[in-house]
Amino acid sequence: MSLLSAPSPRYIRDVHLSFLIGHPLAKASHRFVCQSCGTVHPKWQGKCEGCGAWNTLAEEVVESRVPGPTKAASLGGRKVEFVALKGHSSPPPRTRTGMAELDRVLGGGFVPGSVVLVGGDPGIGKSTILLQAAARVAEAGKRTLYISGEEAIEQVRLRALRLGVSGAPLGLAAASSLRDILASLEEERDVGLVIMDSIQTVWLDSLDSAPGTVSQVRACAAELGRMAKARGFALVLVGHVTKEGTLAGPRVLEHMVDATLYFEGDRGHQFRILRATKNRFGATDEIGVFEMTETGLAEVPNPSALFLAERRGNVSGSAVFAGLEGTRPVLVEVQALLSPSAGGSPRRQVVGWDSGRLSMLLAVLESRCRMTLGMNDVYLNIAGGLRISEPAADLAVAAALVSAATDRPCPPDAVFFGEVGLSGEIRQVAQTELRLREAAKLGFAAATLPRRVARGGRALSAPDGLRLSETGHLADLVAPFAAAAGPRRGPKEKPKPEPAEAE
């Protein structure tokens, strides 16, 4: 006689679910989702194939769908009415935060019914700037709610006291259950702004996964966003980015939100850069510059002057780059240092720029300009904590490298911008006049830029008193430094031995 073993808990759950959905053979399936990038895997493995992170796969339960008819009539939907593309639509209204730098990144302020994701490393200043903005919106007369899932109300009050906004009529709550949050928001009337800090702490009890997993973050963000669009209030979700992968990164939410803002900068540095990587209601790659002080984040209305405040003239290895971040021209200092390598493999240390582009630029200088830089350790730094990804920085970086190699300083009143090709040619970049006006406003008297090509259209309008030095090839940039260096002209040429004296 055979003994029947007791059914497993998983079997009992699957049978219970099958009766709930009306199909006796429905069965739950299991999958493994990366908590860093959201890639789905059929089985567990140590490394994620999507992002390359280790030990970030978590098991999730997916209920199989019941097979049934697929005709349109059986879906129970209603007809969608299509309208003509041609028509007039007024721009959406804006809720200004009172912080010019934040409004600039948002495109003019918060749009009612929009969902904004603010991401960044822990401790970078996300909660600080949002609490400051929420207090100013509340003081302007808009009903503003701040929901904290990580900190207690007393902790938020202490931060508000330190920031000097404790007197603002701001509604505070400490909650992490999605059902409780939705029920509370349903009772509120005339809400203008809701801040959820952070989305990784919110959980839905109908899901088996733990808070912070990809399934929980997606489901909670979708429900909150649906209510925001239905009720017409602006929703801000705070997302943390960690290297360990224990919390779901905000990248899995980027396609679900209307705008994505990232905080950049080192926690040990005073400057913070707020960058818009996605914005359906404004320009992308727009930046806002803030300075971390004892009373919170202070706005920096003129970041170019602040980035160049500690610059010293007549120092080799320094050049000023006239860059463009979104629609804002920004002048930053590029610093380069070369030293003889003690070992067999020279170091390439880069802060604020692409290390691969530095290697390419060093190869162009050696192959096209007859400079020997391969046996030197190269250190490159973008002063001020700003990270530059624009190709127009090639010419400024090349000027800093050549200045460091020849030990001859760049002109202290000159700016550089232009893209360098593999053959050494200097290519045109966008918004030339905007860069030149910013340089002239800060007192610079010269600019080295790509050579203009005769094309149809108006001529380049340069500010009065600004000398333009047009460069067509990288060798034209190297020549003045090499001539000033004197005997060190032509690094690849070996010095000729002096004739021996006759005995």
DSSP codes of every residue in 293-325 = ETTEEEE-S-HHHHHTTT--SS-TTEEEEEEEE
Q: What is the Cα–Cα distance from 388 to 400, expressed in whole angstroms?
A: 15
Taking the C-alpha atoms of residue 250 and residue 292, their distance in angstroms, rounded to an integer, is 24
Enter the tokens of residue 9. 């808990």
Separation CA 340–CA 373 (nearest Å): 9
166 is in an annotated binding site: no
pTM of the entire predicted model? 0.76
Q: So what's the pLDDT on residue 503?
A: 38
CATH superfamily of 100-300: P-loop containing nucleotide triphosphate hydrolases (3.40.50.300)
Phi and psi angles of residue 436, each rounded to the nearest 5 degrees, phi first = -65, -40
* Bond preceding residue 198 cis, omega within 30 of 0: yes
User: Where do we find the tokens 């004892």?
Assistant: 294
CA distance 486 to 490: 10
Q: How far is C-alpha 395 from the geometric centre of its chain's CA atoms?
A: 24
Vertex 407: Cα angle to 320 and 445 (nearest 5): 30
Residue holding tokens 């349109």? Answer: 72
Q: Where in the chain is the domain with CATH 3.40.50.300?
A: 100-300
pLDDT at 24: 46
Residue 250 makes CB contacts below 8 A (sequence gap 6+) with: 117, 119, 199, 237, 239, 240, 241, 260
Confidence at residue 498, expressed as pLDDT on a 0 to 100 scale:
52
Three-class DSSP labels, 104-167: HHHCCCECCCCEEEEEECCCCCHHHHHHHHHHHHHHCCCEEEEEECCCCHHHHHHHHHHHCCCC
The answer for residues whose C-beta is within 8 angstroms of residue 177's C-beta and 6 or more apart is 202, 203, 205
Is 197 annotated as contributing to ligand binding?
A: no
Annotated binding residue 120: yes
- Tokens describing residue 376: 């030197």
- Cα dihedral value 15, 18, 23, 27, nearest 10: -80
The answer to whether 103 is annotated as binding is no
Q: For the chain, first and last CA: distance in Å?
A: 118
Establish whether 46 is an annotated binding residue: no
**Stretch(es) of the chain classified as CATH 3.30.230.10:** 305-453+464-488
Helix (H) or strand (E) holding 450: strand 446-450
Other beta carbons less than 10 A from residue 167's beta carbon: 10
Q: What's the residue count for the chain? A: 503
Report the distance separating Cα 247 and Cα 228, nearest Å.
24
CATH for the 305-453+464-488 domain, from 1.20.1440.130, 3.40.50.620, 3.40.309.10, 3.30.230.10: 3.30.230.10
Mean pLDDT, consecutive 10-residue stretches, the chain (503 aa), reads: 48 48 54 80 88 82 57 68 85 91 94 93 89 96 94 94 94 95 93 94 87 87 95 93 52 87 78 90 89 89 84 88 91 94 87 94 94 92 88 96 94 95 94 93 93 63 87 93 62 47 43
Find out whether 317 is annotated in a ligand binding site.
no
Say whether 125 counts as a known binding-site residue: yes
CA distance 37 to 108: 31
Cβ neighbours of residue 211 closer than 8 Å, sequence gap 6 or more: 176, 200, 201, 202, 203
47 DSSP 8-state letter: B
Q: Is 112 annotated to bind ligand?
A: no
Residue 4 has what pLDDT?
A: 45
